[in-house]
Structure formats: C-alpha cells, structure tokens
Amino acid sequence: MAADSHTSPFVLPDLPYAPDAFGAVISARTFSFHHGKHHKTYVDNANALAEKAGLGSASVVEIVRRAKADAALTPLFNNAAQSWNHSFYWNSLSPNQQRPEGELAKQITQSFGGWDKFAQQLTDAAVGRFASGWAWLVAEPNGALAITTTMNADTPIADAKQKPLLTIDVWEHAYYLDHQNLRKAYVEAVVNNHLNWTFAAQNLESGG
C-alpha cells in the first residue's frame, strides 16, 4: 500500500445519536468523556501500537485476534479490543425503547423463556460482572442465544466462536458520573429501555 493511501485501522466513529438523547440515564457529560476521551484514547493507542507491531494495514478483527494470541502484544490487544467494543456499544444503545421482533423475538423466547427472564438474566450478569468488563448477548455456534460477560477489554470476537449481538459496558466510566456506585440503576435502565434491537437483528442475520 502506498504511504499516501495508508489509513489507520482504528477509527473513532461519530455517536449514532445526540449525546443528550438518553437524559439522565447516560448524560451528555458521560458521553463527552466516554466517547470523546476514553474511546478516543483507545483508538489512538491501538493505531500507534498496531503500527509498531507491523499490523498497521491489518483489519481490526485480525489485529484483535493476533494480539490476543501473543502475550507480547497485550497492550495492543487491550486497546484494540476496547476500540472495537466501544464502537459496538454505541450501536447497541437506542434512545427509544425497542423490543425484539420477528425471528429474534422467537429466539429470545426459545433460549431464555421469554422477555422477562431474558431481561433478568442479562441484568444479573451485567451487575454481577466483578470489576471492569462487558455483558453480551451472543449467538452460539449452534444458533442458540446466550448471555456472557468478559473481563476488562476481552471480547467475544477474539475467538471466532460466539457472534455478539449486543453489549453493555459495565466499566465504572460508563455510569459513575450519572449513577455513582449504583451500577444496577444504569443496567436496568439500559436493559429495559435502551437496547437497540434493530442492531441486534442485523448482527444475527450477518454472516460474520
């Protein structure tokens, strides 16, 4: 690739909604730090570390997987995975309440026994994730839906098994300005009123 056509693998995306669209649940102040500072820093660090590792032309997913497999590349893994996780998280949120529809609604019922049980299980997983990390709705290789959590920067895309459909960031920086220590208040509001089921359905249908 010619030097003048080189683009960095990691990009800070625009938020897909206005930063004040979530009211007091996730404030504009939280988005200003979380997107404008935390995510931006992960993106900048990931690009610099990828370049240093000779992976400046690789895809984001390839960088995440190669860095996970090499203990010497742990700092790259942490910043690369956090870059991907945050882009996925912004899209996992919806300002307006949605519920799963069609095939996805059917699969939620099959895998969890209905919306209420699903919502409780996801809330419990997100609240119970000790320290920093992420709660995920994923599709297993056999097609069943499942809830899982990852620690710190870890992400289901690091191995090619589970396909992520939605995520909730449960690092303190995601909720502390708005809810202080009350992670459960943040998680319950997101699970019940602010998950983007259109995005989840797109991910379920995608081949990747």
Residues that bind Mn ion (CB under 5 A): 169, 171
Closer CB to Mn ion, residue 86 or residue 100? 86
Closer CB to Mn ion, residue 28 or residue 160? 28
Closer CB to Mn ion, residue 107 or residue 150? 150
Placement of tokens 């059917």 in the chain = 106
Q: How far is the CB of 128 from Mn ion (least distance, A)?
A: 18
Q: How far is the CB of 191 from Mn ion (least distance, A)?
A: 17
Closer CB to Mn ion, residue 118 or residue 171? 171
* DSSP for 4-25, written as a single string: GG---S---PPPSS-TTTTTTT
Q: How far is the CB of 104 from Mn ion (least distance, A)?
A: 25
CA distance 155 to 21: 27
Q: Both ends of the chain: CA-CA distance in Å?
A: 26
Closer CB to Mn ion, residue 76 or residue 204? 76
Q: How far is the CB of 170 from Mn ion (least distance, A)?
A: 9
Closer CB to Mn ion, residue 169 or residue 178? 169
Q: How far is the CB of 50 from Mn ion (least distance, A)?
A: 20
Q: How far is the CB of 98 from Mn ion (least distance, A)?
A: 22
Closest chain position to Mn ion (CB): 169
